[in-house]
């Protein structure tokens, strides 16, 4: 069986490519509409994630050695290869599922996702990949005008490709060779974003967490604080490059770094794809008094972040405390005299409350995601959040009226199949640990063919209920296993100041809500 889909690239309101990963509707209509051979999605809300498009392109390229200045560079491609492939991109993937008519048999389905764009548009998208620091020129080129220019993935690009392949179960030999290479940093600072707008969260806690990664656990001292190397920052576990400075009464700091190095580190080591976001974070570092300019005499220097080589900054005393370089002088937060009883009542369910608070708080969620990635179970959080998004999509779909209702139901069901195949199908790339009976229910429901429109609507309702059960199961697993380990971890525990107080407050709020409902 074969299915083809065609997708568009989604953009934000400020013309920046959407960076959040979306539920791909691969495999979507295979069982719902076995007779249907093509699916064209034109709704921008279902369009392709920028990182997915990049990764799909990389999978389609041979990534072979190319000669540059008398030496061969592994895992490279030319401008012409990238533009040609992107202009008519096809990505095929196979998936195995039980036969709906005979559970003892396995049906292998092949899904082909296609992108089609004019040559100049393809060139422009490739330029966006370069500006996002996904790829770099082996010859120090800055555009795709020369068709023979040779390019390679940056460490950041390799990591993004690895996450895509892990999510979709891709094991192509040429891609695996790139991922297994020594240039893979194995980690990036995964920034949390608003579901609807794709904008970064700018709350103080989140900025402070990014800042700790930015300056590092210890000073990354260098003879030069800035360079034009294409390998400027290839590891996110090492802070920005700083120059040693001899302190004096007038200048009582020991290290300085440049505004350009700040944005370069953020672009190289975080999941942001637009330099404007690096400027935003640099400005927030300055606004929160985590850094301050060396020369604050010029008008506006102390209030406006400047991303140049000439602008030098140093970490403030407050910034050193946030970074963990020095200890806080803060006294402990006083206990709420009214919280004693609520804490006693919440003790039994404290980990569930903590899990709820962690998931809803972007800064703690960022830390929790890092922890889960370290412990090889990030898929639990990813699934929980994607079901949240699916449930919102489902609620909107069943509420809509008019001529587009059936098409919306169909697309929502498509998203459900994509989510199922990524996390819940037997042998899926990120198969979750859920109850066997629930897994059987899901397999039975997902492999059952759908007939008319009424049956499709009923099918979507049943799938949504099963996903909610699976989501609750994963929530309980996180609450009983990973969250207790997370809050006790020496790396993350000290950064969770106020978590227990927030969990206790959430418990009280939920208790009060339950009481008001019962009365």
Residue 199: per-residue pLDDT = 87
Angle 39-42-43 (CA atoms, 0-180°, nearest 5)? 120
CATH 1.10.10.10 for the 2-179 domain, yes or no: yes
Residue 299: per-residue pLDDT = 61
Q: 38, 47, 8: which is closest to 415 by C-alpha? A: 47
Classify each residue of 139-163 as buried b or exposed e, where b means 16 or more C-beta atoms within 10 Å of its C-beta.
eeeeebeeeebbbbbbbbbbbbbbb
Residue 341: per-residue pLDDT = 46
Residue 101: per-residue pLDDT = 61
**CA-to-CA separations, 369 to 125, 172, 223, in angstroms, rounded:** 29, 27, 34
Give domain 339-518's CATH architecture: Orthogonal Bundle (1.10)
**Pairing of β 64-68 and β 312-315:** unpaired
**CA-to-CA separations, 305 to 203, 276, 286, 314, in angstroms, rounded:** 18, 12, 7, 12
**H-type alpha helices, 180-327:** 204-215, 259-269, 275-287, 317-323
Residue 328: per-residue pLDDT = 62
What residues does each domain of the chain span? 2-179, 204-323, 339-518
Question: Splitting the chain (519 residues) into consecutive groups of 10 residues, what average pLDDT does each group show?
Answer: 45 66 36 31 42 90 92 95 88 60 63 76 93 94 94 94 86 91 85 84 92 93 63 72 87 91 94 93 96 79 88 95 78 41 50 94 93 92 94 91 84 86 85 91 79 81 95 96 94 88 81 59
CB count within 10 Å of CB 83 equals: 20
Q: What's 204-323's CATH class?
A: mainly alpha
Residue 402: per-residue pLDDT = 82
- Which residues have C-beta within 8 Å of that of residue 1, sequence separation ≥ 6? 30, 34, 107, 109, 110
**H-type alpha helices, 216-338:** 259-269, 275-287, 317-323
- C-alpha–C-alpha distance, residues 437 and 30, integer Å: 24
Residue 97: per-residue pLDDT = 60
**Two tokens, residue 216:** 């590092």
Q: Are 384 and 474 in contact (CB under 8 A)?
A: yes
Dihedral of the alpha carbons of 169, 174, 175, 179, in degrees to the nearest 10: 120
- C-alpha–C-alpha distance, residues 191 and 196, integer Å: 15
Query: Residue 342's beta-bridge partner residues?
Result: none
- C-alpha–C-alpha distance, residues 219 and 132, integer Å: 26
Fold match, 204-323 / 339-518: no
**CA-to-CA separations, 182 to 167, 232, 306, 397, 457, in angstroms, rounded:** 21, 16, 34, 46, 49
Please, what is the angle between helix 378-399 and helix 405-423, to 10°?
Answer: 170
- pTM of the full structure: 0.80
Residue 473: per-residue pLDDT = 96
Residue 336: per-residue pLDDT = 42
Residue 391: per-residue pLDDT = 94
Residue 10: per-residue pLDDT = 63
**Two tokens, residue 393:** 């999509």
Q: Are 185 and 154 in contact (CB under 8 A)?
A: no
């Amino acid at each position: 069986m074969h299915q083809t889909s065609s997708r568009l690239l989604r953009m934000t309101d400020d013309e920046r490519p959407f960076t959040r990963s979306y539920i791909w509707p691969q495999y979507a209509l295979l069982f719902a509409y076995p007779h249907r051979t093509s699916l064209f999605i034109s709704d921008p809300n279902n369009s392709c994630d920028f990182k997915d498009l990049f990764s799909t392109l990389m999978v389609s390229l041979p990534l072979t050695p190319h000669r540059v200045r008398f030496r061969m560079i592994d895992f490279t491609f030319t401008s012409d290869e990238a533009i040609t492939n992107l202009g008519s991109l096809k990505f095929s993937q196979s998936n195995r599922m039980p036969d709906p008519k005979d559970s003892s048999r396995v049906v292998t389905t092949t899904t082909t996702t296609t992108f089609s764009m004019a040559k100049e548009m393809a060139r422009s998208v490739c330029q966006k990949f370069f500006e996002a620091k996904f790829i770099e020129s082996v010859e120090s080129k800055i555009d795709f005008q020369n068709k023979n220019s040779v390019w390679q993935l940056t460490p950041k690009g390799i990591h993004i490709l690895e996450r895509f392949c892990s999510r979709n179960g891709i094991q192509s030999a040429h891609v695996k060779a790139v991922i297994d290479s020594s240039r893979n940093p194995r980690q990036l600072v995964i920034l949390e974003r608003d579901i609807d707008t794709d904008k970064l969260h700018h709350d103080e806690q989140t900025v402070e967490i990014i800042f700790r990664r930015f300056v590092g656990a210890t000073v990354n001292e260098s003879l030069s604080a800035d360079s034009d190397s294409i390998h400027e920052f290839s590891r996110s576990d090492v802070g920005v490059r700083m120059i040693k400075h001899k302190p004096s009464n007038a200048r009582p700091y020991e290290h300085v770094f440049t505004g350009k190095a700040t944005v370069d580190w953020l672009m190289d080591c975080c999941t942001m794809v637009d330099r404007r976001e690096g400027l935003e974070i640099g400005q927030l570092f300055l606004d929160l008094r985590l850094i301050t300019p060396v020369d604050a005499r010029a008008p506006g220097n102390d209030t406006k972040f400047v991303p140049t080589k000439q602008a030098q900054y140093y970490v403030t005393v407050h910034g050193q405390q946030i970074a963990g370089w020095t200890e806080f002088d803060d006294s402990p937060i006083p206990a709420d005299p009214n919280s004693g009883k609520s804490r006693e009542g919440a003790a039994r369910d404290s980990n569930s409350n903590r899990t709820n608070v962690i998931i809803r708080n972007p800064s703690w969620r960022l830390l929790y995601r890092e922890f889960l990635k370290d412990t090889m179970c990030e898929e639990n959080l990813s699934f929980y959040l994607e079901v949240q998004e699916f449930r919102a999509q489902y609620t909107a779909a069943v509420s809509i009226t008019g001529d587009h209702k059936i098409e919306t139901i169909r697309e929502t069901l498509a998203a459900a199949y994509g989510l199922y195949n990524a996390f819940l199908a037997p042998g899926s790339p990120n198969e979750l640990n859920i109850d066997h009976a629930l897994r059987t229910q899901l397999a039975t429901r997902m492999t059952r063919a759908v007939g008319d429109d009424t049956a499709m609507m009923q099918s979507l309702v049943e799938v949504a209920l099963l996903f909610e059960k699976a989501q609750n199961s994963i929530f309980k697993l996180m609450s009983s296993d990973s969250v207790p380990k997370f809050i006790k971890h020496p790396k993350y525990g000290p950064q969770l100041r106020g978590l227990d107080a927030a969990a206790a407050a959430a418990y009280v709020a939920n208790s009060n809500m339950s009481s008001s409902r019962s009365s």
